[in-house]
Structure formats: C-alpha cells, structure tokens
Structure 1
Amino acid sequence: MKLIWLYFVRTYISVGMFFYFRRIKIYDAKNVPKNKPVLLLSNHQNALLDALLIATKCGRLSYFLTRASVFNKPVVARILKSLQMLPVYRIRDGWGNLANNNAIFENCSKLLNDSECIVIFPEGNHNLMRMVRPLSKGFTRIILDALENYPEMDLQLLPVGVNYTNAENFPDGASIYFGTPLVAKDYISGNKNEDAVSLKAVIQSEISLLTTNIPKENYQETLDELERLDVDFLNPKAVNTCINSKFQDCKFQEVKSNTFINIIFKALLVCAFIVPILVWKFVAKPKIKEIEFRSTFRFAIAITLGPLWLMSLFIVLVITLGWVVAVGYLIASLCVVLLAVKL
C-alpha cells in the first residue's frame, strides 16, 4: 500500500506540475544511481517546490530531510511522514529538541545502508536569492556517520541545481541539473573535522556549477543587470559565464511571441477558475509571511481547489445540461489552462 500511495502522489503531482509550469527542463537524470545509496544535495530557493521537482524528476522514490517546524500539526505530520519526509531540528526549534536529530541521523544511516535515496538541502534554509549560500554541516554528519557505521557502503553524493525563471511568478519555468556522482569514501581521511570542511567545500563548488551563483558582493547590481539583459536563468552555466565575463559573454532568452493571445487565454483562465483564484488572492496569499512559500501554497491550491472546482461544475452541468455539454466544458477548460500556461 505504501508504494501505491507514493506512486499515486508522485503521478498526481507530476500532472499538476505539467499544468502549473510553462516548462520544466531536466538534465542528466541518468546520473542518479538506481541501485546504490545516494544523497541528492541541492540548492534551496523555492520552499517545498524544490523538493517536489526533485521527487518527481529524479527517477527514484526518495526520503527528504525537512525542517521540523512544518510537522507541528498532527494531521500535517502524518501526511508528510507518509511521503517519506523526516523532521530535522534546528537551534530555532529549541536546544532541547536538537537531541532528536540523533535518531533521525541514525535512521538515515540505516536507510542508506538499504540503498535508499535521501534528498538534503545543505544550505539549511530556503532563500529566493540566486546564489549558493554557505552550507551547514548537518549533511556532512550524515555522510560521516553512515560510513562509520557501515564502512563498506558505496555511498554516492550527487549535487543538484534547481533553477527558476522567476520563482515568484505564475506560470514559471524550471530546470533541474543533476551533477556527476561523487564517491563519498574518496573524501574520508579519518579526521572528521577536516573531512567535514572538505565535503562542504566540494559540494558547494559542485552545486555552484549547476545553478546561478551571483557573488554576494554587488549582488543586487549584478542581478539587475542580468535581468536587464534578459538572460535565461534556466541555463545557469551561461548565466555564470555572463557574470564571470563582466557581462561581455551573455546569451539572451528567445524573443517571446503571441503576447496578445497569451493575455486572452490568461483572462479566460481567470474566468474558468474564478473561485480558486479568489481564494488564493484574498484568503491564502495574505497569510503567507515568507515569500519563499508563496509559490508552494499557490501550487497547493492549484492542484487541490482547481480540480475540485472543475469537477463541481462538471457535475452541475451533467445534472442540468447533460453529458455532452459537461464533457465539452471539461475539455475546453483544460485547453484554456494549457494554452494560458504554455504559450
């Protein structure tokens, strides 16, 4: 039953993402080891959407280390745990709770010894800034503990870069770059402190190649110039080349067309899903304190209230006007969504 549930959720979310994102580009997913223990180590910009994109596109049923604060409500905690999310406690959750991480890290070692896949966001928190922030040491402890408990484990470390055209907007574009697997044993010398520093440096360097990495110095000025040049943020290698060349070697996005047609279909989208959109705009959105969660909650409403609203109207039309009109309405609504999002 667990596998059926996980595959159902992954399929449902994948379909939702198809209708939500203008495009999702996946690069080198073949690099994800299929039958070996692996840690997927990704940058973290866009809250839960980062995890959902990796979960649906990496080709494996994965476990996720997630900040413990989202497990506070019992119902939410049960759902998250059923989706193989594991709580991780931070200092802000209280010093007394940090000891709970011991059991979580021990469980990670066991999962890896069973050749499972675990996704970690080693920056430790999310932020919409287009840069790889300093990594926390928690992921190094998982690596070191796993190899200490199971010395023969062939643990693979796979850097991942998740990129967005504009994470605050809808519809948005996303790209995921899976890097080259690194053999964890190759970075173990026996000195835990030195090994932790070395692992952090290597993983930060690898992730920085897979996502836009604007230097902290003059960050806003650099970002403004990149946006003025209309670079393609879904191509981080080209963007980083542009930055390093001081904007002399830059590739631009393709010129967008059909703007007027796009406006028409977006207006039709609003008309077709007026109630879910109003709920988002006037009920959910004002309550979101962290801007990084805005896209996550918008997506959640889109894949829950959107289908419910569509099916409610479908049933009403079946009862009042018959199957032909109801089916025609359903097909027309789905076409409107696709054209509004994809054009």
Structure 2
Amino acid sequence: MKKLWLHSVRAYLRLGMFFYFKKVVVYNIENIPRDKPVLLLGNHQNALLDPLLIATKGSRFSFFLTRAAVFKKKFVSYLLGSLQMLPVYRIRDGWNNLTNNNAIFETCSELLKEGEAIVIFPEGSHNLARCVRPLSKGFTRIVFDTLEKYPNIDLQLVPVGLNYIHATQFSDSAAMYFGKAVSAKDFLCDNRNEGVVNLKSKIYTELMKLTTHIPPENYESDLLLLQKLNVDFLNPKEVNTCLVNNFKDCRVRPKTKLDFFNKVFKFLLIINLIMPYAVWKLFAEPKIVELEFKSTFRFAIALTLVPFWLLVITMILVIYFGWVIALMYFFFSLVLALLAIKW
C-alpha cells in the first residue's frame, strides 16, 4: 500500500509539474546509483519546488530531510511522514529541540544501511540568490556517523544542481543536473574534522559546477549584466564560463517574438481560472513573507484549486448543456493551459 500511495502521489505531482513549468530538463540521471545507499545533495533556491523536482524527476523514491517547523500540526506531520519526509531542527526552532536531531540522524543511518536514498539540502536554508552558499555540517555528520557505525557500507554522495530561469515567475523553466557519484569512504581519515572539511569542500565545488555561481563580491552588478545579456540560466556551465571570462564570448538566448500571443493566451487562461486566480492574488500572494515560497504557494493552488474549479464548471455544464459541451470545455481548458504555459 505504501508503494501504491507513493506512486500515486508522484504521478499526480508529475502531472502538476507538467502544467506548471514550461519545461523541466534533467541531465545525467544515470549518476544516481540504483542499488546502493545514496545521499542526494542539492542547492536550495526555490523552497518546496526543489525537493518536488527531485522527487518527481529522480529515479528513486527518496527520503527527505525537511525543516521541522512544517511538522507542527498532527495531520500535516502524518501526511509528510507518509511521503517519507523527516523533520530536522535548526537553531531558530529552539536550542532545546536540537537534540531531537540525534534520533533523526540515527534514522538516516539506518535507512542508508537498508540501501535507501536520502535528499538533503546542505546549505541549510533556501535563498533565491544565484550562488552556492556555505554548507552546514549536518550532512557530514550523517555521513561519518553512518560510516562509523557501518564501516562496510558503500555510501554514495550525488551533488544535484537545481536551476531556474525566473524562480518566482509563472511559467518558469527548470534544469536539474546530477553530478558524478562520490564515494563517502574516500573522505575517511584519522582526523574526523579534516575529513569533514574535505567533504564539504568537495561537495561545494561540485555544486558550483552544476548551478550558476555568482561570487558575492559583485553579485548585484554581475547578476544585472547576466540578465541584460539574456544568458541561459538553465545552462550553468556556460553562465559560469561567462563570469570567469569577464563577460566575454557569452552565449545568450535569442529573444522570442511571440510575447504578444503568449500574453493573450495567459489572459484567457486567467479568465478561465478566475476563482483560483482571485484566491491567489487576493489572499495567498499578499501573505507571502519569503519570496522563496512564492512559487511553492502558487504551485499548491494550481495543484488543488485549479482541478477543483475545472471539475465544478464541467459538472455545471453537464447539468445544463450535456456531456458533449462539458467535455468540449474541459478539452479547451487543457489546450488553453498548454498554449499559455508551454508556448
């Protein structure tokens, strides 16, 4: 039953992702070992959409370390647990709660012993900045505690680069790069602190290759120039090369000439989805404090209210005009959504 539940949820999320993103491109998914314990270590720009992309586009059902604050309500905690999410506590959750991480890290070691995959965002928090931020020690503790307890485990570490064109806008496009697997045993040494430093440095370096990394010194000016050049943020290798070469010989995306038609289709889509759109604009969006959550809440509305609204309108049309008209409307709505989002 658990596998059926996970397959069902992933299938629905995949459908939602298809209609939410203009495109999602995945590279080197073969780098995820299928028959070994693995830690997937990703950069974290876009709140809940980051783990959802890994969950829906990855090749394995993974467990996810998730900030403990979202587990406060009993039903939500049960639901998240059924989706293989584990709470991890941070300082902002209170010093007294940090000891709860001992049990969570122990659980992670046991899961890895069983050959499972676990997703961790080692930056420790989300941020829209197009750079890899310093990594926390939490993931290294899981690695070395697991190796200490199970010396023969062949634990693999896979860096994951998540890239967006406009992380807060709709419709957006995303690209996910899976780096080459690294053996955790390679970082074992007599001095554990030295091993921790080497491991953090290795993962940090690999993540910088898999996503756009704008150095903090001139971040704002460099970002503005990259945006003016219209570089392809879905291709971090090219963008990073552009930065290293001081903006010489930068490859840019051609600007589309179909903006007018895209705006027309989006306007028609808004009219067709006026109730969910009104809920988003009038109630949900104004309450968002952290911009990183903007796409998360928009996606949640698209995943829940939009299907409900379309079902209600379709049933009303069935009652008053019959199945033929209702199905024509439903088909028209799907085509309109594809034109507005994918065009």
| TM-score calculated relative to the size of structure 1 | 0.99
What residue is the counterpart of 2:160 in the other structure? Answer: 160
**Mapping 1:36-47, distance limit 5 Å:** 36-47=36-47
- The separation in 2 between residues aligned to 1:168 and 1:23, in whole angstroms, is 15
- The separation in 1 between residues aligned to 2:74 and 2:244, in whole angstroms, is 48
- The separation in 1 between residues aligned to 2:283 and 2:76, in whole angstroms, is 20
What residue is the counterpart of 1:311 in the other structure? Answer: 311
Instruction: Establish whether residue 201 from structure 1 lines up as the match of residue 194 from structure 2.
Output: no
- The separation in 2 between residues aligned to 1:114 and 1:301, in whole angstroms, is 36
The root-mean-square deviation of aligned C-alpha atoms, in Å, is: 0.7
- Secondary structure of the residue aligned to 2:210 is coil
- Contact between 1:241 and 1:249, CA under 8 Å: does it hold in 2? no
Query: Following TM superposition, by how much is the alpha carbon of 1:257 offset from its aligned partner in structure 2, in angstroms?
Result: 2.7
- The separation in 1 between residues aligned to 2:65 and 2:16, in whole angstroms, is 23
- Contact between 1:34 and 1:60, CA under 8 Å: does it hold in 2? yes
**Mapping 1:202-241, distance limit 5 Å:** 202-241=202-241
- The separation in 1 between residues aligned to 2:320 and 2:142, in whole angstroms, is 59
What residue is the counterpart of 2:128 in the other structure? Answer: 128
- The separation in 1 between residues aligned to 2:70 and 2:243, in whole angstroms, is 36
Aligned AA for 2:32? V
Aligned AA for 1:64? F
List per-residue Cα deviations over 1:227-278 (Å, max 9, x = no partner): 0100000000000000000000211013313222111111110111000000
- Contact between 1:22 and 1:172, CA under 8 Å: does it hold in 2? yes
Aligned AA for 1:118? I
- The separation in 2 between residues aligned to 1:171 and 1:233, in whole angstroms, is 15
Query: Following TM superposition, by how much is the alpha carbon of 1:166 offset from its aligned partner in structure 2, in angstroms?
Result: 0.5
What residue is the counterpart of 2:89 in the other structure? Answer: 89
Instruction: Establish whether residue 342 from structure 1 lines up as the match of residue 342 from structure 2.
Output: yes
Instruction: Establish whether residue 184 from structure 1 lines up as the match of residue 181 from structure 2.
Output: no
Aligned AA for 2:272? A
| TM-score calculated relative to the size of structure 2 | 0.99
- The separation in 2 between residues aligned to 1:30 and 1:136, in whole angstroms, is 27
- The separation in 2 between residues aligned to 1:73 and 1:65, in whole angstroms, is 17
Query: Following TM superposition, by how much is the alpha carbon of 1:288 offset from its aligned partner in structure 2, in angstroms?
Result: 1.2
Instruction: Establish whether residue 244 from structure 1 lines up as the match of residue 244 from structure 2.
Output: yes
- Secondary structure of the residue aligned to 1:47 is coil
**Mapping 1:1-343, distance limit 5 Å:** 1-343=1-343
- The separation in 2 between residues aligned to 1:96 and 1:263, in whole angstroms, is 51
Aligned length in residues? 343
- The separation in 1 between residues aligned to 2:264 and 2:227, in whole angstroms, is 26
- The separation in 2 between residues aligned to 1:279 and 1:11, in whole angstroms, is 26
- The separation in 2 between residues aligned to 1:263 and 1:132, in whole angstroms, is 34
Aligned AA for 2:181? P
- The separation in 2 between residues aligned to 1:308 and 1:284, in whole angstroms, is 17
List per-residue Cα deviations over 1:20-57 (Å, max 9, x = no partner): 00111110011111110000000000000000001111
Q: Percent identity?
A: 58
Aligned AA for 2:125? N
Query: Following TM superposition, by how much is the alpha carbon of 1:333 offset from its aligned partner in structure 2, in angstroms?
Result: 0.2
- The separation in 1 between residues aligned to 2:191 and 2:138, in whole angstroms, is 16
Query: Could you list the runs of 5+ residues in structure 1 that have no partner in the other structure?
Result: none
Query: Could you list the runs of 5+ residues in structure 2 that have no partner in the other structure?
Result: none
- The separation in 1 between residues aligned to 2:254 and 2:28, in whole angstroms, is 23
- Secondary structure of the residue aligned to 1:143 is helix
- The separation in 1 between residues aligned to 2:221 and 2:123, in whole angstroms, is 23
- Contact between 1:47 and 1:293, CA under 8 Å: does it hold in 2? yes
